[in-house]
Structures are given as structure tokens and as C-alpha cells.
Structure 1
Amino acid sequence: EEVYVEAGDDVKAGDLIAKIKVVPNVSSLNSAFNQVQSAKIDLDNQEKLFNRQKTLFDKGVISANDFDVAQTAYKQAQQNYRAAQQNVEIIKTGTSKSTANLAQTMIRSTVTGMVLDVPVKAGNQVIESNNFNEGTTIASLADVGNMIFEGKLDESEVGKIKLNLPLEITIGAIENKKFNAVLDYIAPKGTEEDGAVQFPIKGTLNNKDNTFIRAGLSANASIILEKAEKVLAVKESLIQFDEKTKKSFVEIETGNQKFEKRTITLGVSDGIYVEIKSGISKDDKIKVWNTGAQ
């Protein structure tokens, strides 16, 4: 009947989104009217029986138990009649006097956030969801302050990750800015795409400065498997390996064209630079044995 919001509007939980006018089903309405008539006939009969039993009870002809039975049946008939009338109201308007506060004709926001989409207009027909259909979407809402990154990871990499790893999100539409996130979902089953198996993943963004991020934007995530800050690191191509000891080493300049072999302990690597935990200091000069390392 009426739509009160449009895409981009900010709403609070409980705000009115739309108002629905119920179009009664003719068959259901006729059935409801018949139930009212049947309930009225039963009520009239029970009222007559009650009045007769009351007269007999007042004269001491029948027991209190017999009178109570008649009284209970009369009250039940009254209740059935009211319920039948109420059912007619609900079918006609979607509500009744006794259920006005619970009526489903006033559609309200369930969250505080932003209206993403309003696919209907005033006058459109809508249906409620049931076991056979999803119903009509009146409005799509989201808490844009709590965004979720959705991505896919190749099967060759999924074994390296685990829940709660930090993510670094970059969004193409928002330049020169990175967002931190936490990996909180890894699909238990992959799906095949273009001959490769991909595993869906999700991460919750930590948008501390409340940057406005539109739902549906394309984004990329870097999964941080390990992290080391303010450490000594060198290019991986400068590292050599002793075939006998299987240990890593570098050659340190000790004089003019003189070098000394130093065994080192490696830490985390990003594929280009590797952390040096021990074996050399930042002032040491490393021999460039591989010209590709220059």
C-alpha cells in the first residue's frame, strides 16, 4: 500500500519500512463467514440450554455439576463466536482489534543500518514466505558498519590457513586504503570453477574510522599467515644453502674482497624478503653471489 524508504536511507531498528494492504481470498472469506454463522447457531443453542439449566438449578431440580457443565459450554460457544468473527477481520484486513499491535501489515526494520535496495513500489502485489516460495522482498537492509568480505581460495592454498588469521583487505573503489579483517569462515567443501577447486572464505572487517563501504564492491584479501615487524630482513636471493649441513648461510665481507661464511637462522618470508633471526647484524655487508639479487 505504501513504501516509506528508498535505497540509501539510514534506518534504525523499529523504523517503519512499508505498509501492506491485505487482499482477502474470496474462498477463505466465504469459509470464514460460514464459520461465523455456525458459531452463532451454536451460541444461540447453548444460550437457550444455559438459561433453561439455570432456571432448573435455581429451583433445585438439577445439581450444581449439571449447571456448571451448561455454563462452561455456553462460555465456550461465546469464545468460539468471537474467534470466528475475529478470523473474518483478519482475512479481510490482515488484523483485528485484539491483535492490532501484532499486525504484520506494518513492516518495520529489524536492524539499524542502511537501505540497500527496495525492489517493490506502492501498488505491487507481495506474498509472504512459506515452505513453497521465498516470498516477496520488500527491502534489503544491512548494517554497513559491520561489513563482511567474501572471497574464494584455491585448493592448493586452503591447507595453509586457519580461522582467526588476520586479513588485509583492499577495495578497488577506495584507493590508498587498506582494511583489517579476521578470517572467520572457511567452507568445508570446495566448488569447481574453470577446472580448479575453490573454497569460499569470509572475513569480518574492522572499519574503525567508519569509512563508507558500499555493499557489493569488489575487493581482494591478503591472508597474513605470519607477521614480523621491525626485524632484520634481507632478500631471499642472497641466501645460500650448505648441501652437507642443509643450513642457510650468507657470506659477509671482512676485508677487501675477503668474505666469511656465516650460518644464519631464518624467520618468516614473503617470497621476496626473509627475516634473519640470528647470525648477522644490520651493519654486515653480504656478498651478492647471485646477480639476480642486486
Structure 2
Amino acid sequence: MKQVLTILAIVAVVGSAVGMGYYFYKNNDEPTEKYATVKPEMSDVFKKTVATGSIMPKKEITIKPQVSGILDKLYIEPGQKVKKGQLLAKIQVIPDMSSLSNAESQLRRAKITLENADKELKRQQRLYEQGVISSQEFQTFKREFDLAKENVESGKENLKIIKEGTASDAGASTTLVRSTVDGMVLDTPFKEGSQVIMSNNFNEGSTIATIADMGEMIFEGKVDESEVGKLQKGMPLKLKVGAIDGVEFNANLNYISPKGITEEGAIKFDVKANVALIDSVFLRAGYSANADIVLDKRLNVLTVEESNVTFNNDSTFVEVKIGEDKFEKRLLKTGLSDGINIEVLSGITKDDEIKKL
């Protein structure tokens, strides 16, 4: 019995030893870890900044009445195209009582003066025909009569202007509001029946219509102070309009504000750019837009993905494959980066394989 137990114990020990040996053999026989690699590529690198803003007409004006009163007729609506001199609206004048009273009083005095001048002229004409006075004396009275007659006509026109806003020439009526430019009506803030006031030294006046040339549009946006020093007039922009999918507009930077403003705790500078319109796409005033501004670029240069680059203080490294699953760190000299790809100036070639991190 003891002999049997001894044999079983020996078999168990030998079996355990064989099992452990097989286990270690299998572990050592597993392949070493494999790493994916990528090769550098020849591509373009652009460094950009983004300006947020909106699309606005380059030329936009407001039309205001020449007299105060009630907006009697409005002949236009937003979206309508108008020509210079086209009638936009008609104002019904509400006369000022003080001015009206003064004008009526002035006209009455002018009529009295005319009646007296008429009587005197007739009397002097009889004396002139009898040879009592000279022609020169008669012409003096004739001139006084003509002046008195002119004052009456002037008083009538002045009274009519105060009452109706117009004199004898209907084409020059101050109650008729006309367009001063060609363009499209963007807005008509007041409706018929509204009270409007003329522009003066104390008030900018009521806006009857806003008119703009929609054939010339500009982008108005803002850029951060950290980027404004890199901008120059004439730089190309790519505009993406939020309301229009899949279309990019070209633009050229033509204005950079010399003074920044504080906005949400940061200093921003205004920029403007002329937009190259596309015939098949209608740009509406006020569309929000983002502008990509190219600050610097490198064309057809050797690049690697920045995610595969190791940065250590001022040094830049990549791991280059030198054999089967063997890599070595190699120092790079880099250039421009767009945040995804980075330009390689020296350290590797386009045939090297780089470990993908």
C-alpha cells in the first residue's frame, strides 16, 4: 500500500512539473507586441484664426421726412427694389398753430399794404398822365406796388407750406418722401397713420425706410487681440454663412480697427472684408457668418500628424522604426502647425515609418 501511495505522489509531482513547464513555454512563445506605423506625407499646412460676425450691406442709408406730420401713404415694402427719386411715402402735415397764426397775420398785412399801394399807384398815374409828375417819380410808385404784390404771393405760399407742406411746385413738395439712391428696401419701421418727425438739431428724425445696395456686401466681425497683430489688409478670407449650408464665400480683408473694445473680459478688434458674391445665392443682410483667416501657410511640405509627436520642453521627438518591432527616438526640427499636422524641417524623410501613438 505504501508503495502505491509513493508512486502516486511521484506521478503527481512529475505531472505538476510538466504542466508548469508547458505553461511557461506557451507564454514565452507568444509574439511580442506589435505597433502600428505611419509615414510622413507631403501636404499643405495652414495656420488660421476665426472671426465671428455677420454679413451687412456696404452702402446702407436711412430716408427721413423733411416735415413732421402723419404718415399718410406708404408706397413700398421690405424686399422691394427702388430707383433714385422714386416716391416712397407721403406725409400729411399737422401745422404748428403759432407758425400758422403768424403766417396768416403776415398775409393780411401784405394784402393791406397791396391795397394802399394800388390806390396810390392809380392816383399817381393820373398825375403822370396830366404831366404833373415825371416818369421817374411814377416808376417809384410802380415799383412799390410790384413789391407789395410780390409780398402777398410770398405770404400765400408760406401759408400753404405751413398748412400742406408744399407750395405751387408739387414736384418739390416736402410732404413727398423720395429715395435718394438705387437699392433694396430693407425695413419700413413706421406704418401708415404713424406720427413722424423731421430731422433737426435736437432729434435725428423718424426713419421712413432703410435702403441698401445688396450688390455690395461686407463681412463685419471681431478677432482676438492675440491674433490681430498678424492680420494685414488684403488677406483672403473664407466665409461660412450659418443659414446657407455647403457654400463658402471668398472675401478680402479691407479694414482692421485701430482700437479694441472689451467684450466678455477679452479685448476684441473689429474687422471688415469685401465679399465676393455668388450669382445663384442671395445673401440677406444680417446673416451670421464665420470667417477663416489664413495667418500663415506652407504648401507641399513634409508633415506628420501632431498626435504622433512627443514634445519635451523645447525638443520634439518621434519614434522611427529601425527593425522588426524596434524603434528609436529621433529629434525633429519642426515648423508651422495647424493643430492636426505639423511641418517637418529635418530629422526624418518621407520614407521613414513612425510609431503611431
- Alignment TM-score, normalising by the size of structure 2: 0.64
Report the AA paired with residue 198 of structure 2: E
Task: Choose from 68, 84, 91 the match for 1:13.
Answer: 84
Contact 1:56 1:62 in 2 (8 A): no
Is the Cα–Cα contact under 8 Å of residues 223 and 271 in structure 2 kept in the other structure?
yes
- Counting only pairs closer than 5 Å after superposition, residues 1-294 of structure 1 correspond to structure 2 as 1-55=72-126, 59=131, 61-62=133-134, 64=136, 66-98=137-169, 100-226=170-296, 231-232=300-301, 234-235=303-304, 237=306, 270-273=338-341, 284-286=350-352, 288=354
Counterpart of 2:350 in structure 1: which amino acid?
D
Q: What SS does the aligned partner of 1:132 have?
A: coil
Contact residue 53 and residue 62 of structure 1 kept, 8 A: no
With over 3 angstroms needed to count, the CA separation of the structure-2 counterparts of 1:139 and 1:286, relative to structure 1, is farther
The structure-2 alpha-carbon separation of the partners of 1:170 and 1:62, relative to structure 1 and needing over 3 Å to count, comes to: same
* Pair 1:263–1:53, CA change in 2 (3 A): farther
Task: Sort the Cα spacing of 1:53 and 1:110 in 2 relative to 1 into closer, same or farther, 3 A.
Answer: same
Task: Structure 2 unaligned segments of length 5 or more: list them.
Answer: 1-71
The separation in 2 between residues aligned to 1:236 and 1:43, in whole angstroms, is: 98
Amino acid at match of 1:160: K
Query: Following TM superposition, by how much is the alpha carbon of 1:36 offset from its aligned partner in structure 2, in angstroms?
Result: 0.8
Deviations 1:117-144 (A, max 9, x none): 2222211111111121121122222222
Q: 2:334 touches 2:342 (CA, 8 Å); kept in 1?
A: no
Q: Do the aligned partners of 2:96 and 2:162 also contact (CA within 8 Å) in 1?
A: yes
Task: Label 1:104 to 1:211 Cα distance change in 2 as closer, same or farther (>3 A).
Answer: farther
How far residue 205 of structure 1 moved from its aligned partner, in angstroms, is 1.4
Q: Structure 1 unaligned runs (5+)? A: none
Work out the percentage of aligned pairs sharing the same amino acid.
43
Quote the residue 2:44 is aligned against.
Answer: none
SS of 1:231 mapped into structure 2? strand
Change over 3 Å in CA distance of 1:26–1:156 after alignment to 2: same
Shift of 1:168: 1.6
1:99-126 deviations in Å (ceiling 9; x for gaps): x111132223334333322222211111
Q: Which residue does 2:54 correspond to in 1?
A: none
Identify the range of structure 1 (210-219 vs 121-130) with the bigger mean alpha-carbon deviation. Answer: 210-219
3-state SS of 1:232 partner: strand
Residues 250 and 287 in structure 1, CA contact (< 8 A), matched pair in contact too: no
- TM-score, normalised relative to structure 1: 0.76
- The answer (yes or no) to whether the contact 1:145–1:210 under 8 Å persists in 2 is no
Q: Which moved more, 1:172-181 or 1:39-48?
A: 39-48
**Residue 170 of structure 1, CA deviation:** 0.9
Rg bigger for which structure?
2
Does the C-alpha gap of structure 1 residues 192 and 69 become closer, same or farther in structure 2, counting only changes over 3 Å? farther
Paired residue secondary structure (1:114): strand
Deviating more after overlay: 120-129 vs 157-166: 157-166
For residues 56 and 70 of structure 1, the distance between their equivalents in structure 2, rounded to whole angstroms, comes to 12
Shift of 1:179: 0.9
The answer (yes or no) to whether the contact 2:302–2:350 under 8 Å persists in 1 is no
CA–CA distance in structure 2, aligned partners of residues 279 and 50 of structure 1: 109
Q: Return the offset for 1:80.
A: 2.1
Higher mean Cα deviation, 208-217 or 49-58?
49-58
Q: How big is each residue's C-alpha offset from its partner over 1:208-243, in whole Å with a ceiling of 9 and x where there is no partner?
A: 325112222211112233456x633524748999xx
In 2, Cα distance between equivalents of 1:56 and 1:111: 61
Structure 1 CA distance for aligned equivalents of residues 133 and 274 of structure 2? 78
C-alpha contact 1:144 1:212 (8 A) present in aligned 2: no
CA RMSD in angstroms comes to 3.8
**Which letter does structure 2 place at the counterpart of 1:284?**
K
One-letter identity of the residue aligned with 1:218: S
